[in-house]
């Protein structure tokens, strides 16, 4: 078994059920995460008996970096999994530190009309170790400490909910990755039942929702998931989330030329979110050669922003860090796997 597939709790239970002590799990975790020791034989405070048990049962998994695209603000990595599937993650250099955008699945089944990730259907969910090792692999490669993580790469994290829940445990555990809850963000296209479950976890982890349209007529056209969960269902779930956690929700809004970028759309969006603990992050669309869709021009983006502002909505325009890389979500993998077709 890959040791990175265990949360602390799971490792404790596994060791205890095999006759070892609960605190042995913490000892192992400290060797791995604090001291960077990846050889059970070098974990000198463990008994011989435990070491041979661990050697027999576990290995230290890793991910292979097979391609890196670099720019001054962001680096993009193509990673290969043990079964040769490929995923990608992006390291962004912010003034407050390094932030890593990770993938949650191989491909995606949500089928959004503008997104490269969904052009290649979901092959499978990522395991806990594959989620965690994206962080560890990039940290080791760059010899840099990652201070925040966003789950906004390939895949729909709430379609891999159980592993994302375990991933949150590993990332936020001080003895393990040790990134604070408030420095972790999960982005979903709006799987409503999972928003409720996530709210009930009552963590301080940030939630972002890809809304991209102010009404169902437009959203139906660009996001298949809207046939299952309507905007009002999402808003109701977010009200519940905010009530439970008192955390501000990010509403993501891609600007697509002639589709969702009119002044009326901006007013409609304002009515939807104003007076709620939400803020809108306007995302200039990153065009790809596979879709007809175009990015709204800067003037329209600014106008949209101004209308939200005038309506007292908290709003920012996302700084573009990777548009010169194949950094549209899923693009690097799609270029390799889909051979551009
Ligand atoms: N499935 C999740 C997380 C992955 S997508 C979600 O839908 O939120 C992360 C974000 O990138 C989403 O807001 C998605 O709509 C957006 N996105 C996808 N393709 C894009 C592109 N070409 N340009 C800009 N944003 C894009």
pLDDT at 323: 61
Q: Is any atom of ligand 1 closer than 6 Å to the C-beta of 114?
A: yes
CA distances from 80 to 15, 207, 313 (A): 30, 28, 41
Q: Residue whose CA is closest, atom 14 of ligand 1?
A: 210
Percent above pLDDT 70 for the chain = 94
Cβ–ligand 1 contact at 156 (below 6 Å): yes
Atom of ligand 1 nearest to the CA of 209: 8
- Mean pLDDT taken over the chain: 93
Alpha carbon 17 to chain centroid, angstroms: 33
Among 105, 152, 208, 318, residue to substitute to test ligand 1 (most atoms within 8 Å of Cβ): 152
Give per-residue pLDDT as tens, 115-165.
988 787 899 999 999 999 999 999 999 999 999 999 999 999 999 999 999
Q: What would you measure as the largest C-alpha separation in the chain, in angstroms?
A: 70
Report the separation in Å between the CA atom of 152 and the middle of ligand 1, taken as the mean of its atom positions: 7
Q: Is the CB of 286 under 6 A from ligand 1?
A: yes
- Please tell me the distance between residue 112's alpha carbon and the centre of ligand 1 in angstroms: 9
Name the residue ranges covered by the structural domains of the chain: 3-57, 64-339
Cα of 253 vs centre of ligand 1, distance in Å, is: 9
Residue with CA closest to ligand 1 atom 19:
115
The tokens describing 223, both together, are: 């996001």
Sign, CA dihedral 198-233-105-180, equals negative
* DSSP-assigned states of every residue in 223-263: -GGGGTS-HHHHHHHHHHHHHHH--PEEEEEEEBTTTT-SH
CA 189 – ligand 1 centroid, Å: 8
Confidence of residue 339 (pLDDT cuts 50, 70, 90): very low
Q: In 18-127, which ranges are continuous DSSP H helix? A: 22-29, 48-57
The response to whether residue 115 sits with its C-beta less than 6 Å from ligand 1 reads: yes
Report CA(329)–ligand 1 centroid distance (Å).
6
The pLDDT confidence band at residue 252, using thresholds 50, 70 and 90, is very high
For CA atoms 11, 12, 15, 20, give the dihedral sign.
Answer: positive
Q: Is 152 in the pocket of ligand 1 (CB under 6 A)?
A: yes
> 285 CB less than 6 Å from ligand 1?
yes
Distance CA 135, CA 157 (A): 16
pTM over cut 0.85 = yes
Closest of 104, 85, 75, 86 to residue 333, by C-alpha: 86
Ligand 1 atom 5: residue of nearest CA = 152
Instruction: Tell me the pLDDT tens digit for each residue of 47-95.
Output: 999 999 999 999 999 999 999 999 888 999 999 999 999 999 999 998 8
Tell me the DSSP string of 62-73.
--EEEEEEE-SS
Ligand 1 lined by 252 (C-beta under 6 Å): yes
Burial class (CB in 10 A: 0-12, 13-18, 19+), 69: middle
Residue closest by Cα to atom 9 of ligand 1: 152
210 Cα to the center of ligand 1, angstroms: 7
Three-class DSSP category at 299: helix
Q: SS3 breakdown of the chain: % helix, strand, coil, rounded to 5?
A: 40, 20, 40
Q: Which residues are part of the catalytic machinery? A: 88, 329
CA distances for 195 relative to 198, 199, 261, 277, angstroms: 5, 6, 27, 16
Rounded CA-CA distance 14/159 in Å is 27
Please give the number of the atom of ligand 1 that sits closest to the Cα of 189.
7
Q: How far is CA 107 from the centre of its chain?
A: 13
8 Å CB contact between 127 and 163: yes
Which CATH architecture is the domain 3-57 placed in? Orthogonal Bundle (1.10)
64-339 is a CATH 3.20.20.70 domain: yes
Task: Write out pLDDT tens, residues 276-304.
Answer: 999 999 999 998 888 889 999 999 999 99
């Amino acid at each position: 078994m890959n040791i990175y597939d265990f949360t602390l709790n799971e490792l404790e239970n596994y060791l205890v059920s095999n006759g070892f002590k609960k605190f042995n799990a913490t000892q192992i975790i400290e060797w791995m995460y604090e001291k960077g020791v990846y050889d059970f034989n070098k974990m000198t405070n463990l008994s011989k008996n435990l070491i041979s048990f661990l050697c027999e049962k576990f290995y230290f998994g890793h991910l292979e970096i097979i391609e890196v695209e670099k720019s001054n603000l962001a680096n993009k990595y193509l990673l290969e999994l043990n079964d040769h599937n490929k995923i990608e993650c992006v390291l962004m250099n912010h003034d407050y530190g390094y932030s890593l955008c990770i993938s949650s699945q191989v491909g995606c089944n949500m089928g959004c009309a503008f997104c490269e990730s969904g052009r290649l259907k979901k092959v499978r969910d990522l395991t806990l170790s594959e989620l965690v090792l994206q962080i560890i692999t990039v940290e080791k490669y760059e010899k840099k400490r990652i201070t925040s993580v966003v789950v906004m790469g390939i895949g729909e994290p709430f379609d891999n909910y159980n592993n994302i829940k375990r991933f949150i445990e590993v990332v936020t555990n001080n003895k393990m990755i040790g990134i604070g809850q408030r420095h972790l963000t999960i982005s979903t296209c709006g799987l409503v039942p999972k928003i409720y479950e996530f709210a009930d976890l009552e963590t301080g982890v940030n939630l972002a929702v890809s809304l991209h349209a102010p009404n169902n007529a437009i959203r139906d056209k660009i996001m298949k998931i809207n046939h299952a969960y309507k905007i009002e269902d999402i808003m109701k779930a977010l009200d519940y989330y905010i009530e439970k956690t008192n955390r501000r929700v990010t509403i993501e809004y891609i600007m697509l030329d002639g589709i969702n970028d009119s002044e009326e759309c901006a007013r409609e969006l304002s009515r939807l979110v104003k007076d709620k603990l939400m803020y809108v992050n306007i995302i200039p669309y990153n065009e790809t050669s596979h879709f007809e869709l175009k990015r709204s021009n800067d003037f329209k983006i600014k106008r949209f922003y101004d209308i939200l502002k005038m309506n007292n909505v908290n709003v920012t325009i996302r700084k573009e860090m990777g548009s010169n890389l194949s950094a549209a979500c899923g693009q690097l993998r799609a270029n390799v796997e889909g051979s551009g077709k």
